[in-house]
Chains A and B, each alone.
Chain A
């Protein structure tokens, strides 16, 4: 692999070798909860309250 040559962007991928990549050693990174679950509005609450009546 010669670093001195002038690189041709069309074939630049050719210089990238597998050993350039960091080691493969996966680690889980769970998504954190940042936003509290949205509180439903009064209207949604009323609708839910009325739902059993609608179903008889």
Chain B
């Protein structure tokens, strides 16, 4: 097996349609802007901003196309083959690094119970990369308690690496090198993942049914959010993400995505194709591969294995950041990882779509710079435009007023906003029709949640743009972001923390508005939707980290939690109420 899977006709047709839609939307936007801006003649800045609007609109339209491709439901549900006996040896891998051991091991206890309830024999291996000795001691203590209370000796394992070379990818690689031959399949999780035993059963059965399937990715739902920001993301992941993921699955075909967790892999396929070398040169572009998951998916496909995403598989969960700062910190790491993929665009033998996925990942982070450049070019074009000539002809009796092109500019703005909003509104309409909105508190509440999420994401978009731009510039200037541990759990920020974190964005907003007001006052009103949220950055960062709008953003897992979530809460409550002192005593 060494042939990259060739996409079928349907996949090729969908890719062509999505690319065609993006090209058409981008061309229309560029034509509108060119027509509006060249009334007084063609200037250098007009060319620049027309090119930039083409690129940025193409990116927006590409995102919208993904949603439109995913909008029609699957005609028939994905196959649910039965589990064949004897059940192949399978392990659940839980890499941890400086996590809260009580919460992590409560999840493992819940999954262990769920796996046994599903009639499976599956091991769980905790792969610790924790560097701090005291934190590691707490992990060992929690693990001893886990074994004692679940009777899990012989099926629950724990090991800690002496050096955490290669970070998470290296951690899993070390397990495969040491213990891989004992298992046919491995379910890879994150420390904050939860998965139902029945889901693991389905995953094993799917791998058994298709011997060419190297990796099957589930769509994890976000759970456990408390803050306005976290709950909005949780809602979005439950309400919008399945449609975007279905579009992605349809367009990626057998060269699908791997998101690093909540997926099952065929151990021998993974072992033969995914041994990652360190890249030549120093970080951020050299050294260990940061976003290893995309690379592993590409390498599996290169070796001829299928990599698929199935968004219909339920019972797969993860937690998300509860405030903007935690989100930005994670995004900084992802930014570095995606930009590092530029080094891999010429990797020999990759499927063309795998290379395209790398380009897409890179563009997701550089797109804000293009938007920023477009704003700068628009201001420059206005400032450097020649003054209107009311009497272009000699001896002209009546003045010629410059033609007003506001209509074209407003059409362009509506088109761009439409590309952002239309997918979400289409998903709302579709959920209302199919009855899916019931799980989100009914049509009215789902509508309120979608509209509030649109307002919130519009307010936060300039902040995200600033954080992403800063991350890209840091990486391009050679700054390695390191590998900070994830911050999980309660993320309430104080007003002071909001001010410290958001002051630079506030200052940038005030400065931008002042400069534009001075040199191109007619553009001030156009910049307000960007500059006002920037000026409110400290307030937004602080406020969204608190539990506001609790009646909105209802998701099915809140009203009717999955059994494994309930079990996790029980284990967590049991351990935190009975032995908080035990775990805290060593801290």
User: Which residue in chain B gives the minimum CB-CB distance to A37?
Assistant: B348
Check: B84 CB closer than 8 A to any chain A CB.
Answer: no
Report the bound CA distance from A25 to B178 in whole Å: 6
Q: B353 CB to closest chain A CB, in angstroms?
A: 17
Check: B409 CB closer than 8 A to any chain A CB.
Answer: no
Q: B489 CB to closest chain A CB, in angstroms?
A: 22
Report the bound CA distance from A50 to B157 in whole Å: 61
Give per-residue flags for B556-587: 1 if the beta carbon is below 8 A from chain A beta carbons, else 0.
00000000000000000000000101100110
Q: With A26-B178, A27-B271, A31-B275 in contact, do A21 and B157 touch (Cβ < 8 Å)? A: yes
Say which one of B133-141, B428-436, B510-518, B523-531 lies at the interface with A: B133-141
Candidates B141, B175, B177, B273; contact of A7 at CB < 8 Å: B141
Provide the main secondary structure of the chain B interface: helix
B157:A20 contact, CB within 8 angstroms: yes
Give per-residue flags for B149-165: 1 if the beta carbon is below 8 A from chain A beta carbons, else 0.
10001100111000000
Candidates B144, B175, B273, B348; contact of A1 at CB < 8 Å: B144
User: Which residue in chain A gives the minimum CB-CB distance to B134?
Assistant: A9
Report the bound CA distance from A24 to B144 in whole Å: 21
Report the bound CA distance from A9 to B402 in whole Å: 79
B123:A22 contact, CB within 8 angstroms: yes
Q: Interface size on B (CB < 8 Å)? A: 55
Check: B454 CB closer than 8 A to any chain A CB.
Answer: no
Check: B279 CB closer than 8 A to any chain A CB.
Answer: yes
Name the A residues within 8 Å of B180 (CB-CB).
25-27, 29
Report the bound CA distance from A5 to B120 in whole Å: 32
User: Which residue in chain A gives the minimum CB-CB distance to B139?
Assistant: A12
Q: Which of B123, B149, B158 has the most CB of A within 10 A?
A: B158
Candidates A1, A3, A27; contact of B181 at CB < 8 Å: A27
Q: With A6-B585, A35-B279 in contact, do A25 and B181 touch (Cβ < 8 Å)? A: yes
A1:B148 contact, CB within 8 angstroms: yes
- Where the two chains meet, the residues of B that have a C-beta atom closer than 8 Å to any C-beta of A are 91, 123, 125, 133-134, 136-138, 140-141, 143-149, 153-154, 157-159, 173, 175-183, 267-268, 271-277, 279-280, 295, 299, 343-344, 346-348, 579, 581-582, 585-586
- Where the two chains meet, the residues of A that have a C-beta atom closer than 8 Å to any C-beta of B are 1-9, 12-13, 15-16, 19-36
In addition to A16-B140, A21-B159, A22-B159, 12 A-B residue pairs with Cβ atoms within 8 Å of each other are A4-B582, A9-B133, A15-B140, A15-B141, A22-B157, A25-B178, A27-B176, A28-B177, A29-B275, A32-B274, A35-B343, A35-B347
